[in-house]
Structure 1
Amino acid sequence: MHAVRLHAFGPAENLVHEEVPDPRPGPGQVRIAVRAAGVHLLDTALRAGRPGPAGTPAELPTVPGREVAGVVDAVGEGVDDAWLGRDVVAHLGFVPGGYAELAVTGVDRLHVIPPRLDHVGAVAMIGTGRTAMGVVQFAEPGPGDVVLVPAAAGGIGTLLVQYARNAGATVVGLAGGPAKTAQVTANGADLAVDYTAPGWAGRLAAYAGRVTVVFDGVGGDVARTAVGLLAPGGRHVVFGWSSQGLDSDAPHLVDGVSVNVLGPAMLRRAGGPDPLRTLEERALAEAAEGRLVPAVHRFPLAEAAAAHRALENRGTTGKVVLEPRRPPATR
């Protein structure tokens, strides 16, 4: 098979599309003929050699990627043959291997893709969608809320805009440049604001007054300005720092709530014996019913390096997805 491998930490150019041996499923595992592989901002950090979720850099060489959708084409010992030929999606956890034509994972990680959802949509929801479902737990918006979504043209931002609109809130989305703000408007935001334009905060305030919820996955100057627009009692929900973190000079909330929902807090709120799986199921159900429609930016598998460069340079919209050059599965 072909896969994208990283032999040395460094720039995107270190991602090499090459031929490697086909993986084989072990006991309790399945092999997936990959139709779509998700690319996450975390992947770019791991490629550069920064520690991952397990606390240490990846062992090299490695095939990056932890989100895959496709068709089960082989099963290991102890796995029911009924899985063969099923359209599935899975988050691989701390184990890489997604940027490939074939990927192996435990059968317990599989979700059958609902009939109304394709492989690309499913892979966009299995990681990005589950994060969005985890984030909204901490500030369920509703009528009367004014929700501000920085990075509203991104994968998570797109879903948060839709979720808040579905809940009846007024939604303001921030994005960089006219092309991205146009997409945010098309996605359903009541107002799309270009945060690269001078005076953007004043325009937002003139339209919506004080906001009640900030879904913040950006950090940095944009987040500091956004927090300053919160009304008393507003909710500031932090789930990432794609720019940089809020520092000690950030405005303090007055009678408000600021919460970092990454990690254990998100899992405790989701509940159940497997909180991550609970969030994945919610995300897939929202997409299958058409309530959430993920935006995707597609690249061929062989162009994984270009996908990483575009993601790092903020040249993408929606969820970045790699597609192997394989015949599509019949759904």
Structure 2
Amino acid sequence: MHAVRLHAFGPAENLVLEETEDPEPGPGQVRIAVAAAGVHLLDTALRAGMTSAVHTAPALPTVPGREVAGTVDALGEGTDPAWLGKRVVAHLGMVPGGYAERAVVAAGKLHELPDGLDEAEAVAMIGTGRTTMGILQFAEPAPDDVVIVTSAAGGIGQLLVQYARNAGATVVGLAGGAAKVARVRELGAQIAEDYDDPAWPERVRTALDGRTATVLFDGVGGERARAGIGLLGRGGRHLVFGWSSTGLTGGGPLELDERELAERGITSVPVLGPPMLERAGGPDPLRTLEERSLAEAAAGRMVPAVQRFPLAEAAAAHRALETRATMGKVVLIP
């Protein structure tokens, strides 16, 4: 088979398409003939050798990628034979191996694909959609809400815009550049603004005509988030799920003055990690969120945006992510 391998940490060009032996499934595992593999911003950091308290650098050489969809073509010992030939999607967890024509995963991680959901969309929902459903546990939009979504043209952002709009909320979508703003407007955001333009907060205030925001879904951080917080009214919620404007290792969540939050009657809550899993509950919280995500997609309530790259162009996909030149989920197609 062909797989994209990384032999040394560094730039995107270090990702090389190579021919290698097919992986063989072990006991309780299946092998998937991959039709789509997800690319995550975290993949770019790991490729560069960046680490954090949560994510350690992989052993080299490695095949990156943690989200795959395709057809089960081989079974390990003791695996239910009913899986053979099924269209499936799985999140591999922190075990790499997705950027390849075949990948191995435990059968317990599989979800059978609903009819009408293609593999690339399923890859988007198993990771990005899972996170989106986790975020929504902290603020279920309603018709009387005014919801601000930062990075609204990104994978999570587009799903949040759709969900809030379907719930009847007034949606303010923020993105960088005219093309992304146009996309946010197409998704149904009543107010769509370029957050690289310093005048956007005043235009949003004018458009809201006296109303204040109730929820700020923030995956960007930095001064863009600070400006969004200024639009929150009393009782407003700032839900933090990322800080892409500061880079994966170059910063962190926006530092806020607790006294100002108290005086204004607003809250700021980080939602990723343990808080999200505690709310999901059950013996396998991540699987619970995956099931909810796939159900939303199958019902047509969430349609993930997918930007496809050939498997051989994994380096180009990484460069596009790192330069914020993408809209929606980036997916490799073998």
> TM above 0.5, one fold?
yes
User: How big is each residue's C-alpha offset from its partner over 1:241-282, in whole Å with a ceiling of 9 and x where there is no partner?
Assistant: 111234436684221121101100000001111100000000
Aligned to 1:329: none
Q: How far 1:198 sits from its partner (Å)?
A: 3.2
Match of 2:24 in 1: 24
Partner of 1:194: 194
Question: After superposition, where does 1:141-220 map in structure 2 within 5 Å?
Answer: 141-208=141-208, 209-220=211-222
Query: Any stretches of 5+ residues in structure 1 without a counterpart?
Result: 325-331
Instruction: Give yes or no for contact 2:240–2:253 (8 Å, CA) kept in 1.
Output: no
Identity of aligned residues (%): 70
Residue 35 of structure 2: aligned partner: 35
In the other structure, the counterpart of 1:274 is 284
Q: Give the distance between the partners of 1:9 and 1:99, measured in 2 at CA.
A: 16
Are 1:5 and 2:5 matched, yes or no?
A: yes
Give the CA RMSD over aligned residues.
Answer: 1.3
Equivalent residues of 2:28, 2:106 under 8 A apart: yes
Aligned mates of 2:207, 2:14 — CA distance in 1: 46
Give the secondary structure class of the aligned counterpart of 1:243. Answer: helix
1:98-137 pair list within 5 angstroms: 98-137=98-137
2:241 & 2:296 partners in 1: Cα distance?
A: 20
Aligned to 1:236: 238
TM alignment of 1:296-311, pairs within 5 A: 296-311=306-321
Distance in 2 (CA, whole Å) between partners of 1:6 and 1:223 is 35
Contact 1:299 1:307 in 2 (8 A): yes
Note if contact 1:193-1:200 (Cα within 8 Å) is conserved in structure 2.
yes
Q: CA separation in 1, counterparts of 2:6 and 2:161?
A: 35
Which moves more between the two structures, 198-207 or 68-77? 198-207
Amino acid at match of 1:215: F
- Per-residue deviation at 1:52? 6.0
Cα distance in 1 for residues equivalent to 2:55 and 2:98: 20
Q: Does residue 316 of the first structure (1) align with residue 326 of the second (2)? A: yes
Gaps of 5+ in 2: 247-251
Moved more, 252-261 or 142-151: 252-261
Residue aligning to 1:95: 95
Task: State how far apart, in whole Å, the 1-side matches of 2:147 and 2:215 are.
Answer: 5
Deviations 1:185-237 (A, max 9, x none): 11111111011223011111111242110000111111111112111110110
Q: Say if 2:154 and 2:326, in contact at 8 Å, map to a contact too.
A: yes
The 3-state SS of whatever aligns with 1:282 is: helix
CA distance in 2, matches of 1:198, 1:243: 15
Report Cα offsets for 1:145-200 as digits up to 9, x if no partner.
10000100000000000010111100010011111111111111111101122301
> 8 Å contact 2:225–2:254 — kept in the other structure?
no
Secondary structure of the structure 1 residue equivalent to 2:108: helix
State whether residues 130 and 276 of structure 1, in contact with CA within 8 Å, keep that contact through their aligned partners in structure 2: yes
